[in-house]
A and B are shown apart, each in its own frame.
Chain A
Amino acid sequence: NAGVTQTPKFRVLKTGQSMTLLCAQDMNHEYMYWYRQDPGMGLRLIHYSVGEGTTAKGEVPDGYNVSRLKKQNFLLGLESAAPSQTSVYFCASSSGQWDTEAFFGQGTRLTVV
């Protein structure tokens, strides 16, 4: 019973490098989300998707891109990493109604040096 799986779990990037974070869910959820967690700021929404082939900006989208080519996968890309993107990234999925539970992955700790 995997739920939401994120890969990788840890990564160190140099400034200017690119990378993709992968999120996979096996609950057939329509909605998926990428959040970043920074000390003292809680979780902030980067991008989200309300279904396969759709994406939308969240609260802090700058410097990130996303794709949802398959319903079960939601990719977060950093084209040119910056130290300000050092954070813990969480993927979540839900059935989409705002009264339902969101299920979270275990997070990806990214350090940009």
Chain B
Amino acid sequence: AQSVTQPDIHITVSEGASLELRCNYSYGATPYLFWYVQSPGQGLQLLLKYFSGDTLVQGIKGFEAEFKRSQSSFNLRKPSVHWSDAAEYFCAVGVSGNTGKLIFGQGTTLQVKP
């Protein structure tokens, strides 16, 4: 069965520092992977997605993620964090079959220190 694990529940970084949020997945075939961001009191917004091809994908707001099949990982990165990046981040994998269902990780809350 597919599953997604985000090992870090809470991360604090200083503004301007680099960021990496970890995501590990369990899936038998080539996964469809997503990163969503949830700002306080808001719904989820798609940051980026990976289906195939180049393993380094670019997203909105300066985020990127790298798919590593050998490590079953899809880590999210940003070179320089801004205070407005404080939010909860979810990694998700698309469920096989043509239903569009997603399996989410537990989420990582990012706090940005001034």
Bound pair (A, B): yes
Q: A99: which of B6, B41, B43, B51 is its contact (CB, 8 Å)?
A: B51
Chain B residues near A (Cβ < 8 Å):
4, 6, 9, 32, 34, 36, 41-46, 49, 51, 90, 94-107
Q: What residues on A are CB-neighbors of B94 within 8 Å? A: 98-99
**Nearest A residue (CB) for B102:** A102
Is A42 within 8 A of B90, CB to CB? yes
**Nearest A residue (CB) for B43:** A104
Q: B104: which of A31, A43, A101 is its contact (CB, 8 Å)?
A: A43
Q: How large is the interface on A (under 10, 10 to 19, 20 to 34, 35 or more residues)?
A: 20 to 34
Contacts A48-B99, A98-B96; A106 near B43 (Cβ below 8 A): yes
B79 to chain A, nearest CB (A): 24
Q: What residues on B are CB-neighbors of A42 within 8 Å? A: 4, 6, 90, 104-107
A106 to B43, CA, bound (A): 4
A58 to B103, CA, bound (A): 11
Q: What residues on B are CB-neighbors of A40 within 8 Å? A: 9, 106-107
